[in-house]
Amino acid sequence: MSSMISIAIVNYDISTIINYGMVGAYENNIHKKDLIIGSECININSYITANLTTGIDINLWNLVTFTDGGKDELIIYNANSMLLDTIKKVKYEDSNVILGRIGSGDVWDKEHEKIRLLRDKYKVCCEDMESVAIYQLATKYNIPCISIKGVSNNEILNENYDDSVLNNLVNYVILFIKQLK
């Protein structure tokens, strides 16, 4: 995904990136069909574990962003403030709209203990698989970016995956784009 976005950025005059898609929710008050605006995004695939000789303790895991030649630390990517201000003006009554931190990585977490760790320690309200790559590239190329996500499931609440909520998301994205004009 990130290579396609890089090619588009280099070859076209991209002024804004609107990333939309599906997420799994972590919070008890977020349900299928709700919408999440990614005010922030972190990489949930990149962590250092504890130095234990037996067993594991995920409570001792620490998320970091490994950087080439830089200090390894957790980097929080922020959505563009102008886009956030604009999206807050979009009136939508078909679902709840929540501003929150997206945890992003090549993983579909189903283990409640790990979900609770990411939610409680890192304030992640949902997870997807592409936002962090998009936020990283937008930051690198100084392009305004925002993620708009439809909740497809919530493992904590045993709400099974449902991609039919995509229509709700698309309708909201269209309203947002019209607000930008």
The average pLDDT across 27-42 equals 96
- Containing H/E element for 120? helix 112-122
The most confident of the ranges 2-6, 54-58, 165-169 is 165-169
Burial classification of residue 134, based on how many CB atoms lie within 10 Å of its CB (0-12 exposed, 13-18 middle, 19 or more buried):
buried
Domain ranges of the chain: 2-8+19-40+79-180
pLDDT at 112: 93
The average pLDDT across 161-167 equals 88
Instruction: Judge contact between 36 and 125, C-beta under 8 A.
Output: yes
pLDDT at 1: 59
For residue 68, pLDDT over 90 is answered with no
Q: Rounded distance, CA 28 to CA 30, Å?
A: 6
Sequence-ordered list of residues with C-beta below 8 angstroms from that of 44, at least 6 positions apart, any chain: 63, 103, 104, 105, 107, 109, 118, 122, 124, 127, 132
Q: Which class is domain 2-8+19-40+79-180? A: alpha beta
- Encoding tokens for residue 88? 């807050």
φ, ψ for residue 83, nearest 5 deg: -65, -40
Q: Rounded distance, CA 126 to CA 7, Å?
A: 28
Least confidently predicted of 67-76, 139-148, 164-173? 67-76
pTM for this predicted structure: 0.92
The average pLDDT across 101-126 equals 94
- Using pLDDT thresholds of 50, 70 and 90, give the confidence band for residue 85: very high
Residue range 54-63, pLDDT digits in tens: 888 888 888 9
Instruction: Judge contact between 90 and 181, C-beta under 8 A.
Output: no
- Using pLDDT thresholds of 50, 70 and 90, give the confidence band for residue 52: confident
- The alpha carbons of the chain give a radius of gyration, in whole angstroms, of 17
Q: Rounded distance, CA 21 to CA 122, Å?
A: 22
- Containing H/E element for 128? strand 124-128
